């Protein structure tokens, strides 16, 4: 199966770059039908344009959350999107948006990556919160989105160590390397075997 995905970004788009590379290298059977951002100045949009991808940038400023989401859903209609892939999208999606991508089995076809081992350290500052807490091991989680923040069925997790001499910058850089490997791998597993294979196999085991 060749996935059709819409990738949502708000900033640099480093996970977008990793996904694009996996597609171009043949490691991920997918096509990016649109890159969406709530930040018209996001560097991720530049990355998308450099690779000839369609972009849809719509600032959320001056719009209610539902108005903003409705315009995005309207744009994506007709593109045959299999999954929405959140790659550093700094907006919480409401049930209004999620219901537009509801699977017949009841889950939402929206995937997120979070920089901590959920259910620990939810929220926008996963790296910082884990580091401040003093964890010896942290990790990355890829999960399906639901109506709760940083919640929903976990598709995969992968751990990485905190080293004794780490700063928050080196800690985050090690985590980003894991993100950039894990996200394309999970998407490739979905493309090759379907989302249900991940859900049924309950890939919640932390891998180091």
Cα–Cα distance measured from residue 143 to residue 60, given in angstroms and rounded to the nearest whole number: 25
Rg (CA), the chain: 16
CATH code, domain carrying 9? 3.40.50.170
Cα–Cα distance measured from residue 168 to residue 132, given in angstroms and rounded to the nearest whole number: 9
Q: What is the mean pLDDT of the chain?
A: 94
Q: What confidence tens digit (pLDDT) does each residue in 136-189 have? A: 999 999 999 999 988 999 999 999 999 999 999 999 999 999 999 999 999 999
Sign of the alpha-carbon torsion through 191, 196, 199, 201: negative
Distance from the Cα of residue 186 to its chain's centroid: 11
CA nearest neighbour of 126 among 111, 112, 108: 112
What are the residue numbers of the active site?
A: 114
CB atoms near residue 207 (< 10 Å): 11
Cα–Cα distance measured from residue 155 to residue 128, given in angstroms and rounded to the nearest whole number: 23
User: Rounded to two decimals, what is the model's pTM?
Assistant: 0.93
Give the residue numbers spanning the domain of 41.
Answer: 3-207
Q: What confidence tens digit (pLDDT) does each residue in 107-122 have? A: 999 999 999 999 999 9
Alpha helices of the chain — where are they, by DSSP H? Answer: 14-24, 43-50, 65-76, 95-98, 126-133, 168-193, 195-201
Distance from the Cα of residue 185 to its chain's centroid: 12
As for how many domains the chain has, the answer is 1
């Amino acid at each position: 199966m060749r996935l059709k995905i819409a990738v949502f970004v708000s900033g640099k788009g480093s996970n977008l770059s990793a996904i694009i590379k996996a597609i171009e290298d043949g490691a991920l059977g997918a096509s990016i039908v649109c890159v969406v951002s709530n930040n018209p100045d996001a560097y991720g949009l530049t990355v998308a344009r450099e690779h000839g991808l369609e972009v849809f940038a719509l600032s959320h400023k001056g719009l209610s959350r539902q108005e903003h989401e409705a315009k995005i859903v309207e744009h994506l209609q007709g593109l045959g999107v299999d999954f929405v892939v959140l790659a550093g999208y700094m907006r919480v999606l409401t049930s209004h948006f999620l219901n537009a991508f509801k699977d017949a089995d009841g889950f939402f076809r929206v995937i997120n990556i979070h920089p901590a081992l959920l259910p620990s350290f939810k929220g926008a500052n996963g790296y910082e919160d884990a580091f401040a807490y003093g964890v010896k091991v942290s990790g990355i989680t890829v999960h399906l989105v639901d109506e709760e923040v940083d919640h929903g069925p976990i598709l995969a997790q992968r751990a990485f160590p905190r080293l004794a001499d780490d700063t928050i910058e080196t800690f985050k850089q090690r985590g980003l390397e894991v993100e950039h490997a894990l996200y394309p791998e999970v998407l490739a597993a979905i493309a090759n075997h379907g989302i249900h294979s991940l859900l049924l196999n309950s890939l919640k085991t932390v891998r180091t």
